[in-house]
Chains A and B, each alone.
Chain A
Amino acid sequence: QSALTQPASVSGSPGQSITISCTGTSTDVGGYNYVSWYQKHPGKAPKLVIYDVSNRPSGVSNRFSGSKSGNTASLTISGLQGEDEADYYCSSYTGSSTLVFGGGTKVTVL
């Protein structure tokens, strides 16, 4: 159960778009459409922002979008805002009845 690979940090200016990648293998990200993304602010509980690759839960801003190509999933945040500054984690079902998270990406709003 190796962690999915995410960039350690991504930054952007307010109003810009950023994309966070999440790379796995054919036995997790590439094998199932069960990729989720979570936003986590320090000291707070994680918040689900994308599930099943590209679905947004009710109440989550449409500035958040997800996609997948092969073994790599991506989270795009458009119209970057200060409140988006947080850590972001991807997760994927692995096919062996387990879940694996990515190492996390720190998003900085410049």
Chain B
Amino acid sequence: EVQLVESGGGLVQPGGSLRLSCAASGFNFNIYGMSWVRQAPGKGLEWVSVISESGDDTFYANSVLGRFTLSRDNSKNTLYLQINSLRAEDTAIYYCAKKGLSSSWLWVYDYWGQGTLVTVSS
């Protein structure tokens, strides 16, 4: 059974940093791209970032470019999202998601975690 378990969320002051983790199990982690998608309170889904199966390629939404860094450790089946220079508008539930069956390279997600809440407030 595929499982994705996010952790690392919490309350942080504006300008602060957090590192989110996503522990994966139940599938061959190192052959799938992985992504982060967030949902602000009362808002819709927003794509954040994606990383290739090897970790050699990463892509980011304009809203987080330069502040967020996505990485993975295939030996630990774990995905990481380093988030810096946090702003109030980064407050959201952050979901990690596994790339799904698709002819596209990295752009469809078939399994999602339950999310971890990041709250940016003074």
Neighbouring B residues of A48 by C-beta, 8 Å: 100, 108-110
Q: Shortest CB–CB separation between residue A32 and chain B, in angstroms?
A: 8
Q: Which of A52, A87, A102 is in CB contact (< 8 Å) with B102? A: A52
- Residues A3 and B44 in contact in the complex (CB < 8 Å), given A45-B115, A52-B102, A98-B61: yes
Neighbouring A residues of B44 by C-beta, 8 Å: 3, 87, 89, 101-104
- Which size bracket describes the interface of A in this complex? 20 to 34
State the total of A-B contacts with C-beta under 8 angstroms.
Answer: 75
The CA-CA distance from A104 to B46 in the complex, in Å, is: 11
Neighbouring A residues of B102 by C-beta, 8 Å: 34, 36, 51-52, 55
Interface residues of A (CB under 8 A from B): 1, 3, 32-34, 36, 38, 40, 44-48, 51-52, 55, 57, 87, 89, 91, 93, 97-104
Other than the given A45-B114, A51-B100, A51-B101, 4 more pairs (CB < 8 A) read: A45-B113, A46-B45, A52-B104, A98-B60
